[in-house]
Amino acid sequence: ALNVITGDAHITLSRPEYQKDDPKATSNTIIMTKPDGTVQDLTLLPEKDGVLRLQIQADQPGIYSFETADGESRFAVIGDLNPLEYRDILSTDKILRPLSAQTGGGLWRLSQTTPALRTVSANARAAGSNWAGLRDNHSYIVTGAHEKPFLPFWVSATLLLGLALISWWREGRS
């Protein structure tokens, strides 16, 4: 008999150790199938109490399958069988609608409509039938500003003086 004991993220496998001359003797190797379908061979190790054991760290939630060489199967479940994110996978607004109504926001299906963006004051409603508001609550802090000219002053002055001389020279030739 193959016994499987699960913890939060550990799986302990054990089975009685058979004598080599026992007709029921089987291999110490079992096959583990992980929730993602990955197959791995595991070898149970003999301990002092005459039981073959192996403890493994489960690296993903789901159902692990264990099968012995003689076809005996056991299963271990790690984590929720029905995690919250998989309970209701249909796209709906039933969870966000109360929060949206309470905060003055809105919900849209972007496949059906794309709301225009507007800036609204901090206390104003932040949504309409075809627009979404971005609250202007002035909650920002300027930590510094630095200005640097594109060109040094002397280069700019030289260029302007050169352009003025070229313009004056061209005008004098016409």
Give the pLDDT mean for 35-46: 88
Question: In whole numbers, what is the pLDDT of the chain averaged over residues?
Answer: 82
What does residue 133 show for φ and ψ, rounded to 5 degrees?
-100, 140
Angle at 51 between CA 48 and CA 53, to 5 degrees: 100
Q: What pLDDT was estimated at residue 132?
A: 92
Read off the pTM: 0.44
Q: By C-alpha distance, which of 12, 94, 90, 97 is closest to 56?
A: 12
Q: How confident is the model at residue 9 (pLDDT cuts 50, 70, 90)?
A: low
Percent with pLDDT over 70 in the chain: 84
86-111, pLDDT tens digit by residue?
A: 777 788 888 889 998 888 888 988 88
